Amino acid sequence: MNQRKFGRTGLSVSELCLGALQLGWLNDADASFNLLDTYRELGGNFIQTSTVASNQNVVTQSEQTLGAWLSQRPGVRQHCVLSTRMVFSGQLQAPGQSLARLVREQCEASLRRLGVSHLDLLVCEWDDCFAPNTRCLRPMDELFVGLENLIRAGIIRYVGAAGFPSWRFVEALGRSDRLRGCRFDSLQQKFSILEQGNLYTDVSAIAREYKVGFLAESPLAGGFLTGKYGRSEGLHVSERAKKLALRYANRRGFSVIATLEAIGRELNATPAQVALAWVLRHEIVSSAIIGCNHSGHVHTSVAATQIELSNEHVWRLEYALAPIFNSES
């Protein structure tokens, strides 16, 4: 697995980032440790866990499991880029509690669970806490002051944003510049063949102009691009599958899957591997975040980094998106 530059930070990250939310939850300790060992052996160095900046529903299992793995492998920490995504959700703070203090408390709690001295990247996920006209609105300036203090204290090294609209992200860069402190050094958004958003119109220009790292979240469109659901079968067996069906199970989605399967037969690859290769061919992508349930998934994902798509392959995939213009899509 190759490594790529991460914006202006000086960090080098593996082109596949291991999304570790399933550790200690969907996987027990042994399976989680095996998965992490496999990822490291194949050249992975970028791991993202998650927590919730709220007084309820705090996600801690992934950090605890990753921390246990690190404690049993001395020396591995210095070769890993550790990231935690902090999800601001609902009523964030108790009356009188500052946003800066809340973030510091959550970061310190993450460090205790991970058993490390610092985070390489703290990703702040967009939610109603930054939206106008809500009861939990807090000034973004307060957040950046708090983050700057965390950087000075050596608790975090860099800060990123997830789910921010492009205009809000640029506004945040302007605010941090006026404060002459830390700023967002990465932007994390959903990006796949079926979820291209405004990458070509806004995000790519922002990343290049401001030297921002870009993290591609959900490069397989929540698993839909694996092709495991077939034309319609299996799309209503779970709540997750139902959500995928509502979003992607249309003429456009199945057209793309058919093309992925055809290209995969030519390249001796799975549809998921072709879909990952399509994401990674974009130079703007610093790393694509993958979720793996076992070590076999890691092997197949890493194999996708060796796939080279031709211009014809890319054209065929873009053409497969054409049904979006059809009223039946």
Confidence check: pLDDT of 194 > 50:
yes
pLDDT in the model for residue 134: 43
Largest CA distance in the chain: 61
Determine how many CB atoms are found less than 10 A away from the CB of residue 118: 17
User: Tens of pLDDT along 242-300?
Assistant: 777 788 888 889 999 999 999 999 999 999 999 999 999 999 999 999 988 888 899 99
Confidence check: pLDDT of 57 > 50:
no
Sequence letter at residue 223: G
Determine how many CB atoms are found less than 10 A away from the CB of residue 252: 19
Asked whether the beta carbons of 194 and 221 are under 8 A apart, the reply is yes
Between 132 and 271, residue with greater pLDDT: 271
User: Tens of pLDDT along 93-128?
Assistant: 555 567 788 888 889 999 999 999 999 999 998 665
**Spatial distance between the Cα atoms of 200 and 297, rounded to a whole number of angstroms:** 30
pLDDT in the model for residue 27: 78
**Spatial distance between the Cα atoms of 135 and 60, rounded to a whole number of angstroms:** 26
Segment 120-144 mean pLDDT: 67
Confidence check: pLDDT of 165 > 60:
yes
pLDDT in the model for residue 282: 95
Read off the pLDDT band of 79 (50, 70, 90). very high
Segment 189-196 mean pLDDT: 94
Phi, psi angle pair for 136, to nearest 5°: -105, 20
Looking at the chain, the whole-number percentage of residues with pLDDT higher than 90 is 56
pLDDT in the model for residue 28: 83
pLDDT in the model for residue 137: 41
pLDDT in the model for residue 118: 96
Read off the pLDDT band of 175 (50, 70, 90). confident
Read off the pLDDT band of 58 (50, 70, 90). very low
pLDDT in the model for residue 235: 56
Give me the residues paired with residue 17 across strands: 289
pLDDT in the model for residue 327: 44
pLDDT in the model for residue 310: 96
SS3 14: strand
Segment 162-170 mean pLDDT: 88
pLDDT in the model for residue 328: 46
Determine how many CB atoms are found less than 10 A away from the CB of residue 269: 22
pLDDT in the model for residue 135: 42
Tokens of 20: 């570790």
pLDDT in the model for residue 122: 96
Asked whether the beta carbons of 103 and 86 are under 8 A apart, the reply is yes
Task: Tell me what percent of the chain is helix, strand and coil, each rounded to the nearest 5.
Answer: 45, 20, 35
DSSP E strand stretches across 59-179: 81-88, 119-125, 156-162
pLDDT in the model for residue 139: 64
Q: Which of 21-30, 108-117, 132-141, 153-162 has the lowest mean pLDDT?
A: 132-141
Burial readout 16-54 (b: 16 or more C-beta within 10 A, e: otherwise): bbbbbbbbbeebeeebbbebbebbbebebbbbbbbbbbb
Would you say domain 3-223+284-305 falls under CATH 3.20.20.100?
Answer: yes
Tokens of 45: 């160095």
Asked whether the beta carbons of 256 and 156 are under 8 A apart, the reply is no
User: Tens of pLDDT along 302-319?
Assistant: 999 999 999 999 999 999
Segment 60-78 mean pLDDT: 91
